[in-house]
Structure 1
Amino acid sequence: MSLSVRALTLAVAVLVAVIVPARGAEVTADDTARFLAGMQPSADSPLQPLTKDPAWQRHARFFDSAFAQLEQRQLSKIRAWSDSNLAAPKPTMFYMFSGPDFLYADAFYSKATTYVLSALEPVGAVPDLSRLPRGGVGAALYNVERSLGSVLSFSFFITKQMKVDLHAGEVSGTLPILYVFLARSGKTIRDVKPVVLDAGGTLSIGADAAARNAVHGVRITFAGSDGVEKTLYYFSTDLSNSGVKASGFLKFCATLAPGNSLIKSASYLLHSGNFTTVRNFILANSATIIQDDSGIPLAYYGSKKWRFFPFGRYLGPIDKFPGAYQESYAELFRRAQPIDFGIGYRWRTHESNVLLSVRLPDDGTGAAEATPSPEEPPPPRPRPRKPRPPAPIPPPPLRDGFWFWR
């Protein structure tokens, strides 16, 4: 090829490159999660230039500090406790009334391969952050920080506050929080899809808003450092008796049972007659249940069906939830083993309680089925006078950590 032809070819190539620029790299869900979590996205990510913004750098420093404190104070200790006390966890874990709390689901049941989280909070959306208007990224990061404020300080979401925070701005709902928790837990997100459950519990990919009694959710596939692919489902659904009766949510969960269950900071809803269906489902479909006292009242466990392992200290409910004190719980916790972490509404280590309930094998006689039916709850027992539980101490400033209120 002559020199003039080569020059012409090069000129044409440059002109084409200017008129039709090469297609940019895709903004992946994993890069988005890392960016929202204050972690560096991949080198070729369109989000990489946004990490030069002082707002993102401040956000990254804040999350680095907050999650390091949370890891040291709670999560590492919970994982160690779980390794010591859970012999053979099932592949599935159920976490009703969870909100977007994958962080504690993973800490308590790190060996699960399928996580099913459910609560009223909407799934929401995370747009392409590289296309947000000027100032939009800083606002999004601020809303994420506000949404996580209570969980980082204590161990639970404050529901009323979360309803405001998770509807603010273009980055909304539980999805951005799930992204942050996955990234900060060392997970790599491989795929994210909206899902719908019909009334029969059949799962469909997509979001058919017109489907009757449809339950909307999201399915996230991810992997940890070992490369094992896992699945996280989050469903926005009403867990009251009327809600689960009208939906296919529990029917879908039954296809994954038996599993393990976590109940934490659940507003004592399972003490109520309006949540008997989900309560009975958890009891019937769980090999182990980890809960604080806001979970299933002790009277609804069959004593011949379960073996109880109490940890920590039971001081009764905080003043926000009067009438939920359990004398039988207090009696059980008189022989509790100590724990070195705090969870739940009484989030301080020396005030927290954890009950590990392990399902016993059925001996074939049916005697193990001793759980009272929701239609005929056990008669109330006379409650002896008890000293008033101490009032909760005001929470520490946000710099001391994170927390959730459900």
Structure 2
Amino acid sequence: MQSVRVVTLVAAFLFAAVSSGRAADAASIDDTAKFLAGMMPSADSPLMPLTKDPSWQRHAKFFDSAFAQLEQRQISRIRAWSDTNLAAPRPTMFYMFSGPDFLYANAFYPKATTYVLAALEPPGSVPDLTKLPRGGIGAALYNVEHSMGSILSFSFFITKQMKVDLHAGQISGTLPVLYVFLARSGKTLKSVTPVTIDDQGVVHPVGEGPASAVRGTRIMFAGADGAEKTLYYFSTDLSNSGVRASGFLKFCATLAPGNSLIKSASYLLHSGNFTTTRDFLLANSTTIIQDDSGIPLTYYSAKKWRFFPFGRYAGPISEFPGRYQESYAELFRRAQPIDFGIGYRWRTHESNVLLSVRLPDDGTTSPAATSSTEPPSPPPRPRKPRPPAPVGPQPRNGFFWFGR
């Protein structure tokens, strides 16, 4: 009898040891994000041995340099601009046509507690990096670098390129890029959950909602102060037919009103095929930060919005003919300067930023903006818009090809 008890105890001990070992073998989400971002994971992480791989060390040096330059050139300056011009931002931040661009969402609206990003690109997945085949780490890291090349250099993703990059290799989709941006923004990842939105706008873990629901990812994370925040990324069609057939905007309405960012949006909101998303943003945003690829000035009601222009409006690049706005040009003749670049005209002296602030019902100026700019009302639409000669990034073979 005694021997049976001993055998039972030994078996239980061995099972517990094996189970514990299996749990310890799995890298945490936060360590995985740091590793992909070229940052050291925790000392006891199973990913630590992989940091001795020359491909990871090269990757870490590349990202250290790229993000240091980006921080100095753009991100720190955007944060300073936001601190000066946004006094009382809302907890929710909407970023339509975003791709996995948490970096600029966080730079413009660092005080948001819920971020909602939406684009066509699939969420994808990040596998257990310790189980990739020999040589797989180097290939995976290179793919992450390549998929982020344009946004690190020019502030936006090149859509056609992203469709290829985010489907290549074992690490795919927007999730690995979100991991990198969160880690490099100083965030600690707490949990990552695949989710869906049903046609009523209710979020479910994957497997519990209808199969046809909008798919996405919910990431819980914390900043340096330890306060927990939420990032949603949804892969969804934002055209009229797409959003009317899904519950995505119904879900967004549960978080409204919020602040919105529209950047490098291919001028889709100028089109009659995206009126539902455009109307939602105008009805549910307290502030909208955009470049000229966002909502055309003519759709803002001068009685409901106050405009604060920054930078220089040089018109659209030649990839988007017919999108020149004379009213935008008139508004920006009285703009304040900015010391950073965003959008398709990513050079500082060519970039434009429009901060639109919704007026309270009593017509007084909203505290969301503290800029001293005295914005004019939108002028009447011109009879003959005269676009300037195209400069800046030019397309080649269906892609943007950039030169310094």
Normalising by the smaller structure, the TM-score range is 0.7 to 0.9
Partner of 1:118: 118
Distance 2:301 2:343 in 1: 24
**Alignment length, in residue pairs?**
369
The Cα of 1:386 is off from its aligned counterpart by 2.8
The Cα of 1:170 is off from its aligned counterpart by 1.0
Q: Report the AA paired with residue 230 of structure 2.
A: T
Conserved? CA contact 1:199–1:212, under 8 Å: no
Q: What is the identity percentage for the equivalent residue pairs of Structure 1 and Structure 2?
A: 78
Encode CA deviations 1:163-198: one digit per residue, 9 max, x unaligned. Answer: 111001110000000000000000000010011100
Conserved? CA contact 2:260–2:289, under 8 Å: yes
Q: Report the AA paired with residue 121 of structure 2.
A: E
Conserved? CA contact 1:196–1:214, under 8 Å: yes
Partner of 1:214: 213
Describe the SS at the equivalent of 1:126.
Answer: coil
Q: What pairs up with 1:297-376 in 2 under 5 angstroms?
A: 297-363=296-362
Say which is worse superposed, 184-193 or 130-139, in terms of deviation: 130-139
Describe the SS at the equivalent of 2:328.
Answer: helix
Conserved? CA contact 2:326–2:381, under 8 Å: no
The Cα of 1:21 is off from its aligned counterpart by 8.9
Distance 1:22 1:258, change over 3 A: closer
Distance 1:16 1:385 in 2: 78
Corresponding position: 1:47 with 2:50 = no
Partner of 2:178: 178
Conserved? CA contact 2:327–2:382, under 8 Å: no
The Cα of 1:383 is off from its aligned counterpart by 3.5
Partner of 1:189: 189
Distance 1:393 1:248, change over 3 A: closer
Q: Report the AA paired with residue 184 of structure 1.
A: R
Q: Report the AA paired with residue 220 of structure 1.
A: I
Runs of at least 5 residues in structure 1 that lack an aligned partner in the other structure: 1-11, 365-379, 396-402
Partner of 2:270: 271
Runs of at least 5 residues in structure 2 that lack an aligned partner in the other structure: 1-9, 364-379, 396-401
- The normalised TM-score by structure 1 is 0.87
Partner of 1:370: none
Q: Report the AA paired with residue 383 of structure 2.
A: R
Distance 1:338 1:199, change over 3 A: same
Distance 1:329 1:193, change over 3 A: same
Encode CA deviations 1:300-319: one digit per residue, 9 max, x unaligned. Answer: 00001000000000000000
Encode CA deviations 1:145-170: one digit per residue, 9 max, x unaligned. Answer: 00000001000000111111100111
Describe the SS at the equivalent of 1:157.
Answer: coil
Distance 1:115 1:387 in 2: 36
Distance 2:158 2:222 in 1: 29
Encode CA deviations 1:256-304: one digit per residue, 9 max, x unaligned. Answer: 0000000000000000000000000000000000000000000000001
Partner of 1:75: 75
Distance 1:256 1:46 in 2: 38
Conserved? CA contact 2:318–2:390, under 8 Å: no
Distance 1:75 1:385 in 2: 34
Q: Report the AA paired with residue 149 of structure 1.
A: G
Conserved? CA contact 1:194–1:207, under 8 Å: no
Q: What pairs up with 1:10-89 in 2 under 5 angstroms?
A: 23-24=21-22, 25=24, 26-89=26-89
Distance 1:213 1:246 in 2: 10
Distance 1:334 1:128, change over 3 A: same
Distance 1:192 1:350 in 2: 39
The Cα of 1:384 is off from its aligned counterpart by 3.2
Higher relative contact order (CA 8 A, sep 6+): 1
The Cα of 1:206 is off from its aligned counterpart by 2.0
- The normalised TM-score by structure 2 is 0.87
The Cα of 1:207 is off from its aligned counterpart by 4.1
Distance 2:335 2:181 in 1: 31
The Cα of 1:362 is off from its aligned counterpart by 1.7
Distance 2:382 2:342 in 1: 29
Conserved? CA contact 1:312–1:336, under 8 Å: yes
Encode CA deviations 1:113-152: one digit per residue, 9 max, x unaligned. Answer: 0000000000000000001111111111010000000001
The Cα of 1:363 is off from its aligned counterpart by 3.4
Q: What pairs up with 1:118-157 in 2 under 5 angstroms?
A: 118-157=118-157
Encode CA deviations 1:195-249: one digit per residue, 9 max, x unaligned. Answer: 11001101111245x8254000000000010101000000000000000000000
